[in-house]
Amino acid sequence: MVKIRLKDGSVKEYPSGVTVIEVAQDLSEGLARVACAGLINNERVDIRTPITEDCELSILTFDDEQGKDAFRHTTSHILAQAVKRLFPNVKLAIGPSIQDGFYYDFDTEQPFSPEDLEKIEKEMKNIVKESLPIERFELPRVEAIQLMQERGEDYKIELINDLPEDAIISFYKQGEFVDLCAGPHLMSTKPVKAFKLLSVAGAYWRGNENNKMLTRIYGTSFTKKADLDEYINKLEEAKKRDHRKLGKELELFALMEEGPGFPFFLPKGMELRNTLIEYWREKHKAAGYQEISTPIILNQELWHRSGHWDHYKDNMYVTKIDDMDYAVKPMNCPGGMLVYKTKMHSYRDLPVRLAELGLVHRHELSGALHGLMRVRNFTQDDAHIFMLPEQIKDEIKNVINLIDEFYNVFGFKYHVELSTRPEDSMGSDEDWERATTALREVLEEKGYNYIVNEGDGAFYGPKIDFHLEDCLGRTWQCGTIQLDFQMPERFDLVYIGQDGEKHRPVMIHRVVFGSIERFIGILIEHFAGAFPTWLAPVQVKVLPISEKYHEYAQSVVEQLEKNGIKVEADYRAEKIGYKIREARLQRIPYMLIVGQQEQEESKVSVRSRAKGDEGAQALSDFIERIKDEIASKKIDTQGLDNSIE
């Protein structure tokens, strides 16, 4: 018999060898029907896995991330099976689950067409109807290779050869289809009834641009058709909100062939960008930060000293100056440390908070570039805090409070994740444990529920990441707090302690926006281009009914400008209805229509993005109203709650 501690804390006894699915059936037939995988002593396993010793067990369903992963991984195998049925000569590469879906890579002579996707999806439905049992089996290396040779699966053979000598080589079989896979998977194809193939893209084998380009099919799947329909609707809304499309329509930024991955900000985009920067400067000055600026190009020795060369050299741009090797900076921290070293510090000076809006460059593959979300140059709102060991917790809390204030002003919800030591890291176990413990204790003292990402920290220290949730429920990793005991050692940073001796400060790396360019992209999609008035590049558009009222319109513009309001006027010889429609398409918060009556009464007719026609108002009243709205940074929810027409 084995004792199994269940998720609710109860303990039950079962015969040794009982499977996870049998436990689920014993607990509830309903639970067994929706079980996707199991978690035995925190290790994810198939629901067919036998239990032979005492353990803790959780039954994972689609409501659990790891259960969802198993469900969608199974769907990727159904996709691959359908492709092999329809296109027998196609070779299989890999097919994992990903956030919100799955993909599978294929080696095919020509990319799949939209008509091919329809045929594949139809065949997938047939496979689901066949309710094929999914079986797991293991083979010794020689037999595993032989099996894949017989099936002509060259990519699978390469994967097997790269496995460690002691690796368990497992396969999954459903009907005639067999795939090399570690799992886990569902019991059969039957539960996968709500799925959709979404797109086709190119992808290099193993992500290496020197390898062959494969064809990748993306898809998603759910347990209920209603959930799938909701997701597809969100995708359609996301297409309408695409920041690349809106950025062009609203004249915010441009992407040009002359500089792929290097965005051009247009005048209205600069208004938005500068508003964000002004707010950033205001809040950082109030929080005790000093702003600095460090060079874009620094010598290569610096990057060896910091450790970035070993971890980032493939993504760095390099050059020669006076026969010496230099690199364009991919991040700001080494420059910040050099600034700290420009003078000797006393313990009384600490913490020293140095903030920088630093332009950095990273060589991203052309296939990875995506509007403002993935670029080759961007501005990081970095700050580096140098502190005493006893100041660690207070400084982390201060940064969390600052980040919270920033995200709240934009109306973002967010969650936090704690990332621990990666394999490719530097420093002692003791330092890493001390740093990780400090971050964990602060999160718990602040009352945050957080996710732990084992092994996903920076190479020099653990970190807290802040993931924003936009109006479509998508999450974006922006802010981060990284605790670092390593860089101060590498750069020989010191302060003079109370004892008159030199001591090593502790360091925090942190960003709030992350990348200003990427944050702007997120804002465009979050608000669908309908920015809150305080952020809008043009806050008011003045629309004279005819040329007779241009002079009065100009006087309105001048009074608005005098009060710091961003305003434009439309003096074109167009009908007023056309001008209003144009201003609405530009998502301008307020339109002021001026004609004979408005001129005679020194008023303006107000149309707002949120409420439409608001009638005539005294210009002075409108100015006070909009100034209050800008000062309070009120969020206009029009762009959040309504889909784009």
Place of tokens 């009222």: 549
* Residue pLDDT, tens place only, 456-502: 787 778 899 999 988 888 888 899 999 888 889 889 999 999 999 99
Taking 70 as the threshold, does the pLDDT of residue 164 lie above it?
Answer: yes
- Decide: 100 and 231 in contact? Cβ < 8 Å: yes
Q: Tell me which of 459 and 48 has the higher pLDDT.
A: 48
At 207 the pLDDT is: 81
* Residue pLDDT, tens place only, 224-240: 999 999 999 999 998 99
* Residue pLDDT, tens place only, 265-316: 999 999 999 999 999 999 999 999 999 999 999 999 999 888 888 877 888 9
Catalytic member of 380, 391, 482, 486? 380
What is the CB neighbour count within 10 angstroms for residue 24?
Answer: 22
Mean pLDDT of 586-594: 96
Told to judge if 509 belongs to the known catalytic residues of this protein, a careful annotator would answer yes
How would residue 387 be classed by pLDDT, with cut points 50, 70 and 90? very high
Distance CA 224, CA 335 (A): 52
At 365 the pLDDT is: 82
Taking 60 as the threshold, does the pLDDT of residue 413 lie above it?
Answer: yes
How would residue 320 be classed by pLDDT, with cut points 50, 70 and 90? very high
* Residue pLDDT, tens place only, 566-584: 999 999 999 999 999 999 9
At 14 the pLDDT is: 95
At 636 the pLDDT is: 67
Q: Tell me which of 110 and 350 has the higher pLDDT.
A: 350
Told to judge if 55 belongs to the known catalytic residues of this protein, a careful annotator would answer no
Told to judge if 129 belongs to the known catalytic residues of this protein, a careful annotator would answer no
In the chain, the percentage of residues whose pLDDT exceeds 70 is 98
Taking 80 as the threshold, does the pLDDT of residue 242 lie above it?
Answer: yes
Q: Is 363 annotated as a binding residue?
A: no
* Residue pLDDT, tens place only, 105-134: 999 988 899 999 999 999 999 999 999 999
Catalytic member of 268, 361, 376, 509? 509
In the chain, the percentage of residues whose pLDDT exceeds 90 is 81
Please tell me if the domain spanning 2-61 has the same topology as the one spanning 253-293+345-526.
no
Distance CA 174, CA 182 (A): 15
Q: Please report, for residues 547, 549, 617, the alpha-carbon distance to residue 596 in angstroms, rounded to integers and kept in the order given.
A: 11, 7, 14
Catalytic member of 179, 382, 484, 636? 382
How would residue 44 be classed by pLDDT, with cut points 50, 70 and 90? very high
At 638 the pLDDT is: 52
Lowest-confidence region among 12-16, 312-316, 627-631: 312-316
Two structure tokens written together for 494: 């010191």
How would residue 512 be classed by pLDDT, with cut points 50, 70 and 90? very high
Told to judge if 384 belongs to the known catalytic residues of this protein, a careful annotator would answer yes
Mean pLDDT of 608-630: 94
The topology under which CATH files domain 68-232 is Threonyl-tRNA Synthetase; Chain A, domain 2 (3.30.980)
Q: Is 304 annotated as a binding residue?
A: no
Distance CA 427, CA 268 (A): 46
Taking 70 as the threshold, does the pLDDT of residue 385 lie above it?
Answer: yes
Catalytic member of 333, 353, 518, 587? 333
* Residue pLDDT, tens place only, 57-87: 999 999 999 999 999 999 999 999 999 999 9
Q: Which CATH architecture has domain 2-61?
A: Roll (3.10)
Taking 70 as the threshold, does the pLDDT of residue 321 lie above it?
Answer: yes
Distance CA 152, CA 172 (A): 17
Taking 70 as the threshold, does the pLDDT of residue 641 lie above it?
Answer: no
Place of tokens 């092994």: 455
At 637 the pLDDT is: 58
Told to judge if 380 belongs to the known catalytic residues of this protein, a careful annotator would answer yes
Told to judge if 333 belongs to the known catalytic residues of this protein, a careful annotator would answer yes
Domain ranges of the chain: 2-61, 68-232, 253-293+345-526, 540-641
Residues 286, 527, 248, 586, Cα dihedral to 10°: -100
Catalytic member of 329, 463, 603, 609? 463
Q: Tell me which of 645 and 380 has the higher pLDDT.
A: 380
How would residue 640 be classed by pLDDT, with cut points 50, 70 and 90? low
For the chain, state the CA radius of gyration.
29
Distance CA 93, CA 217 (A): 12
The topology under which CATH files domain 540-641 is Rossmann fold (3.40.50)
Q: Is 503 annotated as a binding residue?
A: no
Catalytic member of 362, 376, 510, 526? 362
What does CATH list as the number for 253-293+345-526?
A: 3.30.930.10
At 310 the pLDDT is: 81
Closest CA relative to residue 593, chosen from 549, 530, 539: 549
At 422 the pLDDT is: 85
Contacts of 274 (CB under 8 A, 6+ apart): none
Q: Which residues of 115-131 are buried (b: 16+ CB within 10 A; e: fewer)?
A: ebbebbbebbeebbeee
